[in-house]
Amino acid sequence: MPSAPSRFEVEHLHRLMIQASVEAAQLDQRLYEARNADSLWPVLRHWSEAAEALDDAVERAGPALRREGTPKDQIDRIRERLDHLEQRSRQFDLDFDLDECVETWRSLGHDVAQLSGRHRDALVLLLRHHQPAIDQATA
């Protein structure tokens, strides 16, 4: 019949458990850092930059677009979509956001092409300029 563990054995086992706990915490921290380094942000940054650039351009062109026949609600809808894309790119959930964002970019292209006035072409060109980087995020 085995005897009860000695005080030394109990303390040694306790030290080993504490050491294992510290090592597990260090590994958890390394995993957290690796996940952050390997995040989607380097790719999604292009979405954020494109959305911000387009939103700034639409905001500047807004008064002229309205004077030249584009309804205010159409401009507002474009700006809301751009704001949504910028927010999603910063808080992206691959399981929920990818398809929605791809569809939003696609419909945004149609909306920009339907603007009225001389600024429409510049906005379409700006979107086309950013399109390769936008598409890279979904490749």
pLDDT at 98 over 70: yes
- Round the average pLDDT of the chain to a whole number and report it: 90
Domain-wise residue ranges, the chain = 1-38, 41-136
Regarding pTM above 0.85, the answer is no
Region of residue 72 (phi > 0: left; psi between -120 and 50: alpha; otherwise: beta): alpha
Where b means 16+ CB within 10 Å and e means fewer, 98-107 reads eeebeebbee
Condensed to tens digits (0 to 9), the pLDDT of residues 48-64 reads: 999 999 999 999 999 99
* pLDDT tens, position by position, 103-138: 999 999 999 999 999 999 999 999 999 999 999 877
Q: How confident is the model at residue 35 (pLDDT cuts 50, 70, 90)?
A: low
For residue 100, CA distances in Å to 8, 91, 93 come to 61, 14, 11
